[in-house]
Amino acid sequence: MEGHPERLRVVRTLLENGFSVRDEGIYLNDIEVPIVRIAKSAGVDRRTVDETIRMVENSPELKTLFSNLRSAGMSLRGVAKQLGLGVVEIVVQDPHRPGILAGASQLFSELGISIRQALVDDPELAPEPKLVLIGDKAVPGEIVPRLLKIEGVTRVSVY
């Protein structure tokens, strides 16, 4: 895709949203997504999306990758407050450091909070990847200094 920044934007849109490319179309799991909607989201024209689809389908490696992509599913983050759930957002110094999720989930457990969802941004796709933990009840502010003691954690927000 070198020399084709527009195609790169299309590929990023596909990856970020878990869209697959197969049968000359774009799919969210089993639902076909109109190409014009992908173009609008990526900030390109429809022809660029068509060219990107052809490029993916003509490359055995890309075809295997993109034909098997699936959406990770729904996120409760946007409706957590309405459902009485607690949300903790954690930013780390090095997203490749092991143990951060384990340390955070241990603290949730100690506070008697069951984790309903754990959402982790891919460090290759997100400029500032985050770990978001959604608990089955409100998360007390006392967890913040304890989370900040986990090696590598640089910022914590509780919602």
| Contact call for residues 93 and 62 (beta carbons, < 8 A) | no
Structure confidence at residue 127 (pLDDT): 84
Which domains are present in the chain? 5-67 (1.10.10), 77-158 (3.30.70.260)
Q: Is the pTM of this model over 0.95?
A: no
**Span 131-153, average pLDDT:** 96
**Span 55-65, average pLDDT:** 96
Tell me the three state secondary structure of residue 43. coil
Is residue 82 over pLDDT 80? Answer: yes
Name which of 30, 42, 122 is nearest 71 in CA terms: 30
| The CA-based dihedral angle spanning residues 129, 17, 5, 44, taken in that order and rounded to the nearest 10 degrees | -130
Name which of 106, 158, 154 is nearest 129 in CA terms: 154
Is residue 81 over pLDDT 70? Answer: yes
Q: What percent of the chain has pLDDT over 70?
A: 99
Tell me the three state secondary structure of residue 94. coil
Is residue 73 over pLDDT 90? Answer: no
* 158 band by pLDDT with thresholds 50, 70 and 90: very high
Q: From CA 76, how far away is CA 1, in angstroms rounded? A: 35
